[in-house]
Structure 1
Amino acid sequence: MSWPLFLARRLAALVAVLLVTSFLVYGLLYLVPGGPMAFLLGNRSGSPEQIAAIRHEYRLDDPFLIRYFGWLGDALRGDFGQSLVYRQGVSDLMSTRLATTGLLVLYATVIIVVAGVGLGVLGALRRGTVDAVISLVNSIFLATPTFVVGVLLVIVFALGLGWFPVFGPGTGLPDRLYHLTLPAIALSLGSAAFLARITRASVGEELRREHVETARSRGFSQSHIVRRHVLRNASIPVVTVTGLTVAGLIAGSVVVENIFALDGLGSLLVRAILQRDFAVVQGVVLVLVTAFVLINLAVDVCYSLIDPRLSPGEAT
């Protein structure tokens, strides 16, 4: 499959996924008990004239499809409507929090890739005690929920030792990285352990391949064999798991942001759900789904960059 055709198909799939998602998000929120009218009226019953005025003000008296396509058209222009709670544009609310969530996910991704791939390769090359210790640590991290890890990190390294701040995203890039260190570690430990297991299995399988045995018989050093014959061939499943893991971090950031009082998209989404702030929920969910699909597109592109023998889309 050629690159233009591959990209065209992936972009078409992206548009289809976003259309279906936007329709479901927009429609399902109006099926909750009371809908937006329950929030707008509060504890008041409201006269028929008041209800009619509110429905007209928020265009709730328009047919559903007209409201949906109107909202979708505005969303394509970057306008997700007004927050019912904050009385502020949803786009403005998200833009101020997007940097925090984005930097947190990026920081956690770096930790996952470095720790997961490094420990996985080390476990595959150093069978015995080293491999057993790494496997034990991986099992512990995989079995420990993210919120438990976050609370323990706060108790030990923030409150106990005082090495890191307890909450807040910080200001400026160095201070932000300092504030986001514990949240990124809490968000990444389980995923790093899972990636380490996948990397160990993939590298171990490649080490048993015939071409690796041939390279050993020709006298090549172990480091040369690992660099030239093992890592690239073992990277396809590693890239796949990394892409899925990074996409999952976007959802996992909700828990971490609440533990460390980070004002990101995740905490904004939780508050919006509890407060029935429909416009904010719709906007945040659509942005998160878009990020998820784009990450999977990037993974597909990486396949062909890692191994040119694979045509675009073949590895999936």
Structure 2
Amino acid sequence: MLRFVIRRLGALAATLLISSFLIFAAMYAAPGTPESFLVQGRTVSPEVLASIRAQYGLDDPFLLRYWNWLSGVLTGDLGESLTTRQDVASLLLSRIPTTLWLTLYAAVIIVVFGVLAGAIAGLRGGAFDTAVLLGSSVGFAIPTFFAAVLLMSMFSVTLGWFPVFGAGAGFADRMAHLTLPAVALALPAAAVVARITRTAVVEERGAEHVSVALARGVPWRVVARRHIVRNAMLPVTTIVGVNIAALVAGAAVVEHAFTLDGIGAMLINSVQQKDFAVVQAIALVLVAVFGVVNLVIDVLYAVIDPRVQFGGESA
């Protein structure tokens, strides 16, 4: 188990290294240049343009620029924003709490409503099962941005139950401000998780070992918990983890719609302004989140089912 975790950490480090190079190269391959944004469309002399390029090291060879940036990242120096002239690490630290609260809130919604509704639908069937199937189909079909607009119109403008803009201050106020954004962010993922959980539970419910346990007189509650739901959680764990990891990237749309000061909204603004350092830092954070979540999922397999083996090594 320990060797498996060490190997996965090494693979994660290699993934981050390769991703950092691709992210750095993609920004410089995109149309436009940083200096064109810095001069704001004004006509400047070649001397001024050369001074700007020298200041930001834009005349250095590509590999040298990448090495300088990577060396800074490894020491916690993510560079300086071209637009605000502030330290990128400080900008991220000021924005991460909002995105973290939003994604955690959405993750709770996915787990509670997605997994719970899917499990109950798979175990009970009937009208509740039909309702979950219909609701998951509708939830998956609604785009996140449209869901955000719909929720704002219904629960904020019409009913006045929730505030629309900002992240709030204090726990209770923050939860009130983030409820609609979290629901909009979690809706498609919760629908997918509910459908897959329901399918996994139905398959396990029809398994032979469940019939044998019931025939031996094992109470249904015990069979449902130990034989059906527990075995069904292996594929569900993967889907939940992938969708939770994707929340950080999907938060950009929701944060922009609700004018939240998170890293998602900052990513959109930075891409539009060609702010290389900020875009590169946020993209690297997204890759790191996906890698860490996948590692956690693999480790959770051993917790859910001790029979799982990692690379020929018993958990």
TM range (shorter): over 0.9
- Counterpart selection for 1:289 from 281, 287, 290: 287
Identify the residue that residue 44 of structure 1 maps to in structure 2: 42
- Counterpart selection for 1:125 from 123, 126, 139: 123
Instruction: Measure, in 1, the Cα distance between the counterparts of 2:131 and 2:170.
Output: 38
Instruction: Measure, in 2, the Cα distance between the counterparts of 1:107 and 1:44.
Output: 45
Report how far residue 273 of structure 1 moved. 0.6
Identify the residue that residue 79 of structure 1 maps to in structure 2: 77
Identify the residue that residue 161 of structure 1 maps to in structure 2: 159
Identify the residue that residue 27 of structure 1 maps to in structure 2: 25
Report how far residue 31 of structure 1 moved. 2.0
* 2:128 corresponds to 1:98: no
Report how far residue 113 of structure 1 moved. 0.6
Identify the residue that residue 143 of structure 1 maps to in structure 2: 141
Compute the RMSD of aligned alpha carbons: 1.5
Instruction: Measure, in 1, the Cα distance between the counterparts of 2:164 and 2:40.
Output: 36
Report how far residue 313 of structure 1 moved. 6.0
Q: Deviations over 1:106-144 (max 9, x none)?
A: 111111011111111121122222211221111111111
Instruction: Measure, in 2, the Cα distance between the counterparts of 1:155 and 1:42.
Output: 37
Percent of aligned pairs sharing the same letter:
50
Instruction: Measure, in 2, the Cα distance between the counterparts of 1:95 and 1:74.
Output: 17
2:302 counterpart SS class = helix
Report how far residue 220 of structure 1 moved. 2.1
Identify the residue that residue 235 of structure 1 maps to in structure 2: 233
With structure 1 as the length reference, what TM-score do the two structures score? 0.95
Identify the residue that residue 205 of structure 1 maps to in structure 2: 203
Q: Which has the higher mean CA deviation after the structures are superposed, 39-48 or 92-101?
A: 39-48
1:180 counterpart SS class = helix
Does the 8 Å contact 1:29/1:35 carry over to 2? no
Instruction: Measure, in 1, the Cα distance between the counterparts of 2:67 and 2:305.
Output: 42
Instruction: Measure, in 2, the Cα distance between the counterparts of 1:313 and 1:44.
Output: 59
The aligned length equals: 313
Counterpart residue type for residue 113 of structure 2: A
Identify the residue that residue 15 of structure 1 maps to in structure 2: 13
Identify the residue that residue 179 of structure 1 maps to in structure 2: 177
Identify the residue that residue 309 of structure 1 maps to in structure 2: 307
Runs of 4+ in 1 over 6 A off after TM superposition: none
Report how far residue 240 of structure 1 moved. 0.5
Does the 8 Å contact 1:303/1:312 carry over to 2? no
2:31 counterpart SS class = coil
1:223 counterpart SS class = helix
Counterpart residue type for residue 150 of structure 1: A
Identify the residue that residue 66 of structure 1 maps to in structure 2: 64
Q: Deviations over 1:218-259 (max 9, x none)?
A: 222221111121111111001000011111111111111111
Q: 1:199 to 1:164 in 2, by over 3 A?
A: same
- Counterpart selection for 2:194 from 190, 193, 196: 196
Q: Deviations over 1:48-98 (max 9, x none)?
A: 322222121111222211111111111112211111111111111111110
Does the 8 Å contact 2:193/2:236 carry over to 1? yes
Q: Which runs of 5+ in 2 are unaligned?
A: none
